[in-house]
Structure 1
Amino acid sequence: MDNKEALVLEAIPNPESRPYALEGRPYQRIGSTTSIMPQTTYQRLLNERAHSRIRWENQPAEGCAIADMDSEEILRTVRLGIAAGRLPESTGSAIPDIMERLRLFRDGRPNQASVVLFGSRFMPDYPQCQLRLARFRGVNKSEFLDQRQIEGNAFYLLEEAMLFLRRHLPVAGRIVPGLFEREDEPLFPLEALREALVNAFCHRGYTISGGAVSLAIYDDRLEIWSDGTLPFNLKPEDLKRDHASRPRNPIIAQVFYLRGMIERWGRGTQKIVELCVKAGHPEPEFGEQAGSVWVRFLPSGYIAPHRVAHDLTGRQRELLQILAQLGPAPLREIRKRLSAPPSDRMIQEDLTHLRRLDLVESMGRGRGAVYRLRKTNE
């Protein structure tokens, strides 16, 4: 008995690594009892871990070196930061020093935030650095007009998303008074769309290896999705009112801030709403579904905004708005709604022009004729 030794092993858990799971299920220990952890407790601990010192963005990027970073994009960040007054002019041009200043090192190596922001090599280790782009025909996903999947750092992906929007976003043309020139305006304000994309890249859940930011344009709406849930018990309806700015990825968000692309006051989503309302559109919708956060942009007025890349006059646009509100209507009812009604003959000429463009259709003849918007899926 005296010759025997006892070996005592003590495992001291790191509180920042909680919650722990076994075979995909989280458990908790209360006194001498072990039980399955309630969902609310599990979600709270996940939120705390995501914002701890050992969160994903702050961990070393295994196998990555400074040579794997896009040095031109890093230097561009410095130039933009100095121009925005958010980086000192003495920042310099030495890449290691800049990365240290931007908190992109961990234990002497680039961290995972640096890959998201400035990486130049992503597969197979970082498949989540991806952007999915689609322009659908109609109002569902049954038919593509264009689709792309792009890998790259966040700033490259943002630039590609804006190019895709300029290529596929419906354009409304108007004649500038006194200049006799046509001025094209995107259906939705590009500043609002850019703000939504920046929010998606800053706040998405990068721990989801198959995740991405997705941009989808339909005939009747535009949607931006990002994988991950809203942090700190935020709800979609909170995004339209004052709320605390607590980014899921503070290092990534800080670099976007230094480039002058976001503010620190949690007003990004409110700014999106304000820009859309100012442009005459309904407030965008925010939602959370199946582990993703989305924002949906809806056009004002007529159902077929994707067909407005024609030189329509102000009155012709007004006719489309009226038909969107009235539904099928005779000429006399349409005339009552016009702000400055001309003769019936001129209204009929405008309606005939809209029919040629497949924006309007008519039923019946003569005084009994009824006009309505042509449905986009016909």
Structure 2
Amino acid sequence: MNSLASLELTAARGESETLEFKRSTAELRRAGETLCAFLNGEGGQVLIGVAPDGKLIGQQVADVTLRDIAAMLGRFEPSARIDLERVDVDGGRTVIVLTAPSAREYAPFAFEGKAYRRVGSTTATMSQEEYARLLLDRNHSRHRWELRPAVGVRLQDLDHEEILRTRQTAIEQRRLSAGTSMDVGDILDRLGLRVDGQITHAAQMLYGTRFLPDYPQALLKLGRFRGTTITGDILDNKQEHMHAFAMVREAIAWLDRTLPLSARFPKGNILREDRLPVPADALREVIVNAVIHRDVSRASSYVAIAVFDDRIEVRSVGEFPSGIRAELLSGEHPSILRNPLMAGAFHRTGAVEVWGRGTNRVIEACRAYGIAAPEFTEVAGVVTVTFKAAVFPEAAQGPRLSQVRPKSVLSLSQVQVLEIASDPSSLADLMASAGHTNRTRFRHQVLAPLIESGLLELTIPDKPTSSRQQYRTTAAGLALVRQNS
């Protein structure tokens, strides 16, 4: 309940995405439009009896005033719960507080036949495209495709070995009782994948073995393209229909075969560390998300992984959930599951969480790995996650490796420097790793030829004698190390 003091504090904050002022019920229709926008968004309050500058002016409230408000509140479709509160101010006048909750699960709401959305501190008419998308989302949540019976699919048509693997892994993760039956039908029931004894679409997508002609959306596409555009030569192309768990395993195995490995010696460690262009855990997280969050209700749906010389793209059919935008994925955001049953099965195995932290972990992993955070985009109903990294640097840079190779054969010390400096390293660290003690000789005989050949670079090139100077292996240097490892 609002007191006069708390209402004054609220009004002092000014109009915002969740707060709007109206002088009186003469603006009741506009108040209804704004409440509609709040219902379709983050929720909010309309204060009637407040001037644009936030001053509480109040108004006289008679029975007819309350009837007018009740009539206005009856013009929402679907019907909405709007809380009404009266706060008395000076002179026997009253401020009316109308509070609309965020009701995204029931959106889109319309007021007098039109839907509205909030844009900053203003209310705008919702586009037909957004209205249609929200309507589809609402219908999907009530009549989800994954819950419907998979007509013609029998229990014996499913991958029993995979179902039992899910059971065992879930028990090990303590996300399924150790006493769970080994009967595959019982396991499906525990996972919510049978309804009234019927196999659901979710079960078919998770464990199916036969997909055509009824389930073309169980498609994984894998491609390696020469260069940096989709029009480049296709060096590897694979398309296959498979269930979700197999899809994740095959995608990871294909990337393991396709992506190059570079080698480095972490500081203080004499053992060589093989390194992919992108952190493996981040790739795996994004692949799992693409598989379980795609729009499996569309026959044209798929998951695709495209490897270029300068990046890796993971694509999946399906828009971002309502209320989620690409820029929100790097911060705190809700976990909105398009396919709760499919996500639930993966969650039981420990493959995913349900807290909406996956994208945050991916971003952190990439930054810790020394590469840029991935880009999240949605174009024409397809979500793409792009990892930008020197996947095949010798190809992306243009000149062939032989064109940048130094005239003389590299010494053992120079090879060690290139391996260590895959992470920026100080002169002292490089000397220690290569077993040198003479600073001048090391600079002239080891570092200078590498820098002149374009294999090593300074992190502060305009201040070569800076006390904070470090050295970093270039893309050409990394390629040379990889070629000779």
TM-score (norm 1): 0.75
Letter of the 1:77 partner, please give it.
T
- Quick one: which amino acid aligns to residue 138 of structure 1? G
| Distance in 2 separating the partners of 1:320 and 1:82 | 41
- Alignment correspondent of 1:315: 417
Percent identity for Structure 1 against Structure 2: 34
- Which residue of 2 is the match for residue 366 of structure 1? none
2:310 aligned counterpart, secondary structure: coil
* Matched AA of 1:124: P
Q: Are residue 64 (structure 1) and residue 166 (structure 2) matched?
A: no
Q: How far apart are the structure 1 equivalents of 2:358 and 2:423?
A: 30
The corresponding residue for 2:261 is 171
SS at match of 1:90: coil
Picking from 438, 450, 457, the partner of 1:350 is 450
Cα offsets for 1:249-286 (capped at 9, x unmatched): 00000001001111110111111111111111111111
Partner of 1:207: 297
1:109 to 186, 194, 198: 198
Give the 5 Å matches for 1:1-378. Answer: 30=113, 38-52=128-142, 54-141=143-230, 142-175=232-265, 181-299=271-389, 303-304=393-394, 313=415, 315-316=417-418, 342-350=442-450
Computing the radius of gyration from Cα coordinates, the structure with the larger value is 2
| SS across alignment from 1:139 | coil
State whether residues 310 and 391 of structure 2, in contact with CA within 8 Å, keep that contact through their aligned partners in structure 1.
no
8 Å contact kept, 2:267–2:420: no
Any idea what SS the aligned residue of 1:89 has? coil
> 1: distance between equivalents of 2:370 and 2:416?
15
- Compare relative contact order (CA 8 Å, sep 6+) and give the higher one, 1 or 2: 1
Q: Which runs of 5+ in 2 are unaligned?
A: 1-105, 115-126, 402-411, 432-438, 458-473, 480-485
User: What is the root-mean-square deviation in Å for CA atoms of aligned residues?
Assistant: 3.7
Instruction: Write the deviation string for residues 138-192 of structure 1: whole angstroms up to 9, x where unpaired.
Output: 1112211111002110110111101111111121112467775433121211111
Paired AA for residue 139 in structure 2: R
The 1-side partners of 2:195 and 2:393 are apart by: 52
8 Å contact from structure 2 (residues 376, 383) kept in 1: yes
Residues 99 and 220 from structure 1, CA distance in 2 versus in 1: closer, same or farther, beyond 3 angstroms? same
Please say if residues 220 and 304 of structure 1, whose CA atoms lie closer than 8 Å, have aligned partners that are also in contact.
no
Contact 2:310/2:392 (8 A) holds in 1: no
CA distance in 2, matches of 1:319, 1:191: 23
Give the deviation of 1:200 after TM superposition: 0.6
Shift of 1:47: 1.1
Does the CA contact (< 8 Å) of 1:59 and 1:111 recur in 2?
Answer: yes
Measured in 2, the distance between the counterparts of 1:351 and 1:198 equals 42
Change (3 A) 1:175 1:305: farther
Amino acid at match of 2:418: Q
Equivalent in the alignment of 1:326: none
Per-residue deviation, residues 11-46 of structure 1 (Å, max 9, x unmatched): xxxxxxx99xxxxxxxxx959xxxxx9222211111
Separation (CA, whole Å) in 2 of partners of 1:339 and 1:317: 10
How many residues align? The count is 320
Residues 312, 388 of structure 2: 8 Å contact kept: yes
What is the alpha-carbon distance in structure 2 between the residues aligned to residue 51 and residue 99 of structure 1?
21
- The aligned amino acid for 1:117 is L
Structure 1: distance between partners of 2:151 and 2:263: 51
Residues 206-265 of structure 1, C-alpha deviations (whole Å, 9 max, x = no match): 122122101111111111000010112311111111111110000000001001111110
Deviates more, 1:179-188 or 1:202-211: 179-188
